[in-house]
Amino acid sequence: MSDFPANLPGKPERARARPAAYNGRYAAGAARGHARGVIMTPEQPEAELTQHHGWDARTLKVWVRAQGRCEYCDADLLGSASVYFHGAHIDHIVPGTGNDLDNLALSCVACNRIKRRKMFVAAGEVPPERKTLIERAQRYIGERRVRDEGLRQIARPLLIACDIAERAV
């Protein structure tokens, strides 16, 4: 059994249980040790995450390629525990076409929900390269966010006028 927590994303069946005496010192100590200049080879952090923290190798490759940021809106997915544990998704760029790394993108919850199963390949079109598909998705998501903000600005004063704060009690 490992001394490291298993509360990082990955396949649950590969996760290991926390030691009974776990109080956060292992993860914090590893981060402090690295910050103090402990030199690790490029393979060591990946091995640590996949072998001791339950990360799936493919998921880790997606996270590394995206540098921990949403590939559609550039949100920092390592910025808070809430976003890290509950706000990051591995998205299929073209839904229904497989789990090849080129078809996977790191996405925040909002972008993944906005995009949903939207296809960015026209019927009969030869699928363009990954970069083009990401750009199409970014444009679509950006347009939806502008539209959604307009709708929110209309709804907000109406909801306030309904005294939703008092009714929610």
Is 61 a domain residue?
A: no
- Helix residue ranges, H only, 71-108: 81-86
Express as a percent the part of the chain with pLDDT over 90. Answer: 46
What mean pLDDT do residues 72-87 have?
92
Q: Which domain holds residue 106?
A: 67-167
Q: Are residues 160 and 88 in the same domain?
A: yes
Residue 166: what pLDDT? 59
Q: How confident is the model at residue 7 (pLDDT cuts 50, 70, 90)?
A: very low
Residue 18: what pLDDT? 38
Residue 167: what pLDDT? 58
What mean pLDDT do residues 122-132 have?
89
**pTM reported for the whole predicted model:** 0.69
pLDDT score of 131 more than 80: yes
Q: How confident is the model at residue 61 (pLDDT cuts 50, 70, 90)?
A: very high
Q: Are residues 99 and 151 in the same domain?
A: yes
Residue 27: what pLDDT? 43
What percent of the chain is helix, strand and coil (3-state, nearest 5)?
50, 5, 40
Q: Are residues 132 and 155 in the same domain?
A: yes
Sign of CA pseudo-dihedral 67, 6, 56, 10: negative
Q: Are residues 51 and 74 in the same domain?
A: no
**How many domains does one find in the chain?**
2
Residue 146: what pLDDT? 96
Q: Are residues 43 and 74 in the same domain?
A: no
Greater model confidence, 8 or 93: 93
**In a 3-state reduction of DSSP, which class is residue 108?**
strand
Sign of CA pseudo-dihedral 32, 35, 39, 45: positive
Express as a percent the part of the chain with pLDDT over 70. Answer: 74
Q: Are residues 154 and 97 in the same domain?
A: yes
Cα–Cα distances (Å) from 83 to 73, 95, 114, in that order, read: 14, 23, 17
